[in-house]
Amino acid sequence: MTNTSTIRFQFTKGSEVRFLSHLDVLRAFERAVRRAGLPMAYSEGFSPRPIVSYSFPLPVGALSEAEYADYRLVEDWDPAFFLEHFNRYLPPGFQVVQAERLPEGSPALMSEINAALWKVTLPGVSPEDVEGRWQSLKAQDSFVVERQTKRGNRQVNLRPLLFGLPRIAQLEGAVEVHCLAAVGSEGNLRLEELGLLLGFNPAEAVITRLGQFKKVGSVYQAPLGNRGFTWTEQ
């Protein structure tokens, strides 16, 4: 009798594939799955598809240290073997860094994420510039912009979507800012909107997603492993 299992894994997206769209990323992983000969489980129906799910799409041009995916397999693979084997077939720029076998009945991946930690490297500004902008924002109840959606334009208050700035540090010729922000269907702060809030042009910044988390109050818990933290705005 065949044992099925679901492997959840964390992977990185490096500079070599920085400008791939989310759809291009999915296609690259589909090709790697075929080359690696992974024993994927398939959906039923007229056009069976591998049973996979990914975390929320990464904007084009952003790097990441923490993307996630769930793969349903028809064999019970050891997560360490999955990590080592699949990495051999991924194109340069992608790397699986962590994998776990999920217990049966685990929540869907996207339901496990509602916050992201971003690293934004800004050239030509000072920590005082960013700190001043943040303190001004904290004093405001709202920061309303017009957002274009498939259903037309609508007014969105961005202020509740930016949870905080746990790090503002001076680098040589730039400032590195860590931002905690909403992600997902219940609330999503786009990178261009983050630029509006903090006063920078995303095209001039290097932006990296450092983590994705389930935010409950002041606790942030990653969807894989024991990584998590508690952070309260000072």
What is residue 129's predicted lDDT score, i.e. its pLDDT?
Answer: 92
Structural domain boundaries in the chain: 5-111, 113-230
Pairing relationship of beta strands 162-171 and 174-182 according to DSSP bridges: antiparallel
User: 5-111 and 113-230 share one CATH topology?
Assistant: yes
- Report the Cα 93 to chain-centroid distance in Å: 16
Give the chain's residues under pLDDT 50.
1
Alpha carbon separation from 177 to 23, 150, 153, 230 (Å, rounded) = 28, 31, 30, 18
Beta carbons within 10 angstroms of residue 213's beta carbon: 22
Global pTM reads 0.93
Report pLDDT digits (tens) over 186-208: 899 999 999 999 999 999 999 99
Does the domain at 113-230 match CATH 3.40.190? Answer given as no
Question: What does the mean pLDDT of the chain come to?
Answer: 93
Alpha carbon separation from 100 to 9, 81, 95, 97, 143 (Å, rounded) = 6, 11, 15, 11, 40
Place of tokens 């690696």: 36
Report pLDDT digits (tens) over 65-94: 999 999 999 999 999 999 999 999 999 999
Percentage of the chain modeled with pLDDT above 70: 99
Place of tokens 């109050």: 217
The CATH number of the domain covering residues in 5-111: 3.30.70.580
DSSP state of 2: P
